Amino acid sequence: MMDYWILVVDDDISNLTMANNILGAEGMRVSSVKSGASAIKFLQTNRPDLILLDVYMPGMSGFETFEVIHGDERTADIPVIFLTADDDSETETRGLKAGAMDFIKKPFMPEVLLIRIRHIVELTRLQANLAQEVEEKTKEITMQHRKLESLSVHIVMALSGAIDAKDTYTNGHSARVADYSRKIARMAGFSQEMQDEIYLIGLLHDVGKIGIPDAIINKPARLTDEEYAVIKTHPVLGENILKEITEFPKLVMGARYHHERYDGKGYPSGLAGEEIPVEARIIAVADAYDAMSSKRAYRDVIPQKQVRAEMERGKGTQFDPAFADIMLKLIDADTDYDMREK
**What strands, in cross-sheet order, belong to the sheet with 29-33?**
29-33, 5-9, 50-54, 80-84, 102-105
Q: Which residues contact 272 (CB under 8 A, 6 or more apart)?
A: 260, 261, 262, 263, 264
| Number of residues that this document lists for the chain | 342
- CA gap 112, 46 in Å, rounded: 26
Backbone angles phi, psi at 247, to 5 degrees: -70, -20
| Residue 43: CB atoms within 10 Å | 21
Q: Are strands 50-54 and 5-9 parallel, antiparallel or unpaired?
A: parallel
Q: Could you tell me the pTM of the whole model?
A: 0.57
Distance, in Å, from the CA atom of 36 to the CA atom of 41, rounded to the nearest integer, reads 9
Q: Which residues are part of the catalytic machinery?
A: 209
> Which portions of the chain are predicted below pLDDT 70?
1-2, 87-88, 131, 134, 137-138, 140-142, 144-170, 297-298
Angstrom CA distances, 262 to 53, 63, 74, 191, stand at 73, 69, 59, 24
- Reference 31, options 44, 46, 238; nearest CA is 46
| C-beta atoms surrounding 332 within 10 Å | 10
DSSP 50: E
Query: Where do the CATH 1.10.3210.10 domains begin and end in the chain?
Result: 166-333
209 near 163, Cβ under 8 Å? yes
Rounded percentage of the chain residues whose pLDDT exceeds 70: 88
CATH class of 166-333: mainly alpha
239-290 pLDDT, tens digit each: 888 887 777 788 889 999 999 999 999 999 999 999 999 999 999 999 999 9
Domain with CATH 3.40.50.2300 in the chain: 5-135
Superfamily (CATH H level) for 5-135: Response regulator (3.40.50.2300)
Contact 26, 3 (CB under 8 A): no
pLDDT of 37 reads 93
CB neighbourhood size of 251 (10 A): 25
Q: What is the pLDDT of residues 145-159, one digit of tens each?
A: 565 555 456 666 656
- How far is Cα 240 from Cα 44, in angstroms, rounded to an integer? 66
